[in-house]
Structure 1
Amino acid sequence: MSLIVQKFGGTSVADVEKIRAAARKAIRAQKQGHRVVMVVSAMGKNTDLLLKLAGDISENPPAREMDMLLSTGEQVSVALVAMAIEDLGSKAISLTGGQIGMKTDDSFSKARIQSISTERIERLLDEGNIVVAAGFQGIDDDLNITTLGRGGSDTTAVALASVLGADACEIYTDVDGVYTTDPRLLPEARRVEVISYDEMLELASLGSGVMHNRSIEFAKKFNVPIHVRSSFSDTEGTMIVAETESQTAPVCGAAMTPSESRVTVLGVPDVPGKSLQIFSAIADKKIAVDMVVQNVGDQGKADVSFTVRHDDLKATIKAIENILPLIGAHAVTFDDDVSKVSVVGVNMAQQTNVASTMFRALADANVNIQMITTSEIKISTIVPRSQASDALRAVHEVFKLHEKPTDAKSWNEIREARTENADIETLVSRLQDDALEALTLTGISLTKKQARVTLRGVPDKPGIAADVFETIGKAEIFVDMIVQGYDGVDGSTSVSFTVNESDLGKSIETATAICKKHGMRDVQQGKGISKITVSGIGLRSHTHVATVLFKQLTDLGINVEMIGTSELQVNAVVQSDKSDSALDNLKIAFQNSLA
């Protein structure tokens, strides 16, 4: 008999009638022949109410007691849902996180799942019950109640689907699927029928409210199909699986993260080990860093810029200020009036001019780009918060995201064509691991024969990035990494990009022409460089990955010239002479995490 995990968010159980509707969906699935596990969030604004109560009691409540308090919201919901199922004539039993056997570490408010004991759930299912499990919570080794942090109920649901071998995990929410962007911001946004794990991971990390990135990490690691559906209609929704909807569309979605903060460490000595010191201090606070830009050193100094969530800004600044003398940097500055606008698509790696198309759309909308980072499947820009909505609309329109791709496939078509190629023994061994949410790396690689070109003194105004990369595209130069950040001189920026070493001459010639056209300061080049790439699942939520990378480079006396990060990769551009040793050391350092 097949098994389905159904997750109902707070809006889906916000009142008595919605609780009854959720109960009916579970009963209907059971009558169709499925065994059913429900994962339920706290009702509506219940968590907000509990947070307010805690704030009224104490300005700085203990983390352990906060988890004890917040876990009660889900316990109320599961009991009421179980009562509703019983009242409608079916059998149900509610369980807390501890009662479902969810063991976590002791990181209160941000706990990670280590293991789940399924015996009790399996027995209750065999007895004909619908099991109603509390999301968002577990227990540690000392039986303390812990909570999983943002999106914790999603994570609970997909984790249970993984260990129970569920046929699917249905996420019921107040929207009817995944859209090309937030339909509340752009009414023309289109619901997609299928989206890949990788694309959804990037969109989730960019603030897409439909799913949380930790739950997608679970789904990708254990190959669990996720079906995002509406609690209030029978719309088919969206399937999140390994495949993507289109094989040709360069972009599948756009996202705007409104509350970002950009932090810049000024005057960092351009020597090995400084990036390690900076990001170790941040990782120690379990703060997730997103966009990272390190400009090319000038007169022995460089500036390092990165973005964090607005809520983490104060703690980030404090962490950096504490180590400024140790680093030998001049100062740390920040801008908390910026937003991030990004496009995502697994097909962009095989297509040219995606970046220049995005930059031109922003220029035409008179949006100024303050930072740029790229990865194989994502391009992110930092823009003034006042221009963020215009920027999102511009990129959504230029990539025609409101239109269905001509080669778009439905889930039924993909399901018929797909072949299950998961290594069952590998999956079983992972499920028996003591840390289900452990970092899982899919590869550590080295790309040699690369070169770097840097334009310095780039005017900080709309249209420059578009002209730069349109000109480079016309010269038929294939660009890999792109980073843009402040270079600390007259408010201008620097733009660096990597190319194949064979294209360096043509790239310098093109960059020199661009430099003269826009009155930039100069063009720099770097030969004999390599790109080290660490790829995997959980790179953003496991904040130590970049730290380990920088430590291995530091131990070998290797300086980092460029950095690029995404949900799926951390890239570092270094000189080639020691890059083979760096690759070997990284494989040893991460040997327990490699799939």
Structure 2
Amino acid sequence: DVCEIYTDVEGVFSTDPRIVEDARKIDHISYDEMLELASLGAGVMHSRSIEFAKKYRVPLRVRPSYSDGMGTLIAPEPAANAAVVTGVALVRNEARVTLEQLPDRPGVMSTVFTSMAARKIPVDMVVQDVGSGGLAEVSFTVQQDELAQAIAAAEDAISRLGQGKVRQGVDVSKVSVVGSGMRTHTGVAAAMFQSLAEADVNIGMVTTSEIKISVLVPRDRCDEVVRIVHRAFRLHEKSASPPSIGVDSDSADGSPSLREELERDVVSRLAAMEDIVVSEVGLDTDQSRITLSGLPDEPGVAAEVFTAVAEGGILVDMIVQNIGHHGRAHLSFTVPRTDLDSCLLLLREVLERWPGTELSFDREIAQLTVTGIGLRSHTGVGEKMFLALAACNVNVQMINTSEVKMSIVVAAGQGQTALAALLETFQLV
């Protein structure tokens, strides 16, 4: 059975046709991809409708009401011959807020998010890299017209913590690539970063999910970046070929059976459509963390790093890059623990060209992911999450976010404690 929805558009496109003239209508897209492409799908149907369909595994077909076009099929899984990348999304009017020199201890992120939630400010990209010297730094983006309130909230958090500084960045935009093929192809991040490097576009921040990579770029180049990335992945073609960088991997984090096992029936709680809905909390204890400190903050560096990793056949999960300082950037990412030693060898060879860059790693970490609809619009999700972790004295080492996921890294020994706290907080036990 298929639920057909008639609208005033042809279907879902690979990007905004007003930016890319040869944007292609997508014939078949998965629920997860559609949810992550929120900015493309918002004019077609509400994300909660897709969540209902996902829970009941009911395919949706979005069709034009003014013609016999077949539109776009939104289904449980991507098409068998689906491209690695499905679409490119843009959030144009973003602003960045950075809280630096924060104490690196439990409860700090709770204070920050409580202050934001009190003002009901929706937060988009959230990035926290690994702290050093007892200090941590977190950056997040908000809509440009929310910047003044966000700065006030950040300064309130600093006052409560007793230390820290607030910085801001304006005239920035978020560009994202989405595709289920990222679960099995190692070169998506490298290909995206390489295309930006060739156009001399510097990346301000990076955050990821299992099937999405988002970067913060200068707003005056955001349309150009969308066109560059769309062309790099050949999304204008009916059958786009895989990125030339990287290889297909037989293993991917979170097999369909595992994802189905983790999915929890929250349909009864979706009756109140505007309630906070977290559908699952997952724990991954099979990852390791790698941090590169003091990288040159310039175009092409991230591309070189991730090209080396991709050509080694290593799948990268979380990628976190915060805003740079004094011409230097810090980059952290997670890889399967079984690939850590191979990855370190590849990186040491690449890093020889950048004297002064430091390589560190943590072989055993715990990575937790909260999944749900409305993580951006419902400001209380982050507040609840970090309050629960603070209450059990769990320190958050890394954070990144997407439209429907918020992922954190904590010490390996605190993984089960954090999982239990989050399951209880979001009533999933």
Output the CA distance in 2 between the equivalents of 1:310 and 1:193. Answer: 34
For the residue of structure 1 that corresponds to 2:352, the secondary structure is helix
How far off its partner does 1:279 sit?
1.3
Output the CA distance in 2 between the equivalents of 1:527 and 1:321. Answer: 35
Q: Given that residues 185 and 315 in structure 2 are in contact (C-alpha distance below 8 angstroms), is that contact kept between their aligned partners in structure 1?
A: no
Aligned equivalent of 1:462: 299
Q: Partner letter of residue 84 of structure 2? A: P
Pair 1:499-2:314 in alignment: no
Distance 1:210 1:436, change over 3 A: closer
The higher radius of gyration belongs to 1
Aligned equivalent of 1:185: 19
The equivalent position to 2:70 in structure 1, one of 236, 241, 250, is 236
Aligned equivalent of 2:250: none
Distance 1:235 1:449, change over 3 A: closer
How far off its partner does 1:226 sit?
4.2
Deviations 1:230-264 (A, max 9, x none): 45444332233334345441111111221111111
Q: Given that residues 266 and 279 in structure 2 are in contact (C-alpha distance below 8 angstroms), is that contact kept between their aligned partners in structure 1?
A: no
TM-score, scaled to structure 1: 0.64
Distance 1:242 1:207, change over 3 A: closer
Q: Given that residues 444 and 532 in structure 1 are in contact (C-alpha distance below 8 angstroms), is that contact kept between their aligned partners in structure 2?
A: yes
Output the CA distance in 2 between the equivalents of 1:586 and 1:552. Answer: 6
TM-score, scaled to structure 2: 0.87
Deviations 1:37-60 (A, max 9, x none): xxxxxxxxxxxxxxxxxxxxxxxx
Deviations 1:248-290 (A, max 9, x none): 4111111122111111111111111111111121122232222
Output the CA distance in 2 between the equivalents of 1:233 and 1:578. Answer: 56
- More helix per residue: 1
Aligned equivalent of 1:516: 352
The equivalent position to 1:447 in structure 2, one of 277, 284, 295, is 284
Deviations 1:48-95 (A, max 9, x none): xxxxxxxxxxxxxxxxxxxxxxxxxxxxxxxxxxxxxxxxxxxxxxxx
Output the CA distance in 2 between the equivalents of 1:428 and 1:340. Answer: 32
CA RMSD across the alignment: 2.8
| Total equivalences in the alignment | 409
Output the CA distance in 2 between the equivalents of 1:378 and 1:401. Answer: 15
Pair 1:401-2:238 in alignment: no
Pair 1:538-2:366 in alignment: no
For the residue of structure 2 that corresponds to 1:352, the secondary structure is coil
Pair 1:170-2:5 in alignment: yes
Output the CA distance in 2 between the equivalents of 1:311 and 1:474. Answer: 42
Deviations 1:487-519 (A, max 9, x none): 5x4142111011223333333333333333123
Distance 1:463 1:275, change over 3 A: same
Output the CA distance in 2 between the equivalents of 1:536 and 1:429. Answer: 10
Distance 1:230 1:429, change over 3 A: closer
Output the CA distance in 1 between the equivalents of 2:65 and 2:163. Answer: 52
Output the CA distance in 1 between the equivalents of 2:345 and 2:357. Answer: 15
How far off its partner does 1:350 sit?
1.6
Q: Partner letter of residue 466 of structure 1? A: A
Output the CA distance in 1 between the equivalents of 2:175 and 2:152. Answer: 27
The equivalent position to 1:581 in structure 2, one of 392, 417, 420, is 417
Output the CA distance in 2 between the equivalents of 1:427 and 1:277. Answer: 29
Pair 1:342-2:179 in alignment: no
Output the CA distance in 1 between the equivalents of 2:174 and 2:266. Answer: 38
Q: Partner letter of residue 282 of structure 2? A: S
How far off its partner does 1:537 sit?
3.4
Output the CA distance in 1 between the equivalents of 2:223 and 2:408. Answer: 32
Aligned equivalent of 1:486: 323
Output the CA distance in 1 between the equivalents of 2:264 and 2:101. Answer: 47
Q: Given that residues 394 and 410 in structure 2 are in contact (C-alpha distance below 8 angstroms), is that contact kept between their aligned partners in structure 1?
A: yes
Q: How does 1:192-341 map to 2 (within 5 A)?
A: 192-205=26-39, 209-221=43-55, 225-341=59-175
For the residue of structure 2 that corresponds to 1:191, the secondary structure is coil
Distance 1:433 1:513, change over 3 A: closer
5+ residue gaps, structure 1: 1-165, 408-422
Aligned equivalent of 1:473: 310
Q: Partner letter of residue 546 of structure 1? A: G
Aligned equivalent of 1:351: 185
Aligned equivalent of 1:553: 389
For the residue of structure 2 that corresponds to 1:458, the secondary structure is strand
Q: Given that residues 290 and 308 in structure 1 are in contact (C-alpha distance below 8 angstroms), is that contact kept between their aligned partners in structure 2?
A: yes
Q: Given that residues 563 and 572 in structure 1 are in contact (C-alpha distance below 8 angstroms), is that contact kept between their aligned partners in structure 2?
A: yes
Aligned equivalent of 2:220: 386
Distance 1:583 1:168, change over 3 A: same
How far off its partner does 1:356 sit?
0.7
Distance 1:342 1:376, change over 3 A: same
Q: Given that residues 55 and 265 in structure 2 are in contact (C-alpha distance below 8 angstroms), is that contact kept between their aligned partners in structure 1?
A: no
Distance 1:324 1:242, change over 3 A: same
Distance 1:432 1:512, change over 3 A: closer
The equivalent position to 2:408 in structure 1, one of 562, 568, 572, is 572
How far off its partner does 1:383 sit?
0.8
Aligned equivalent of 2:244: none
Of the two structures, which has the highest relative contact order with CA contacts closer than 8 Å and spacing of 6 or more?
2
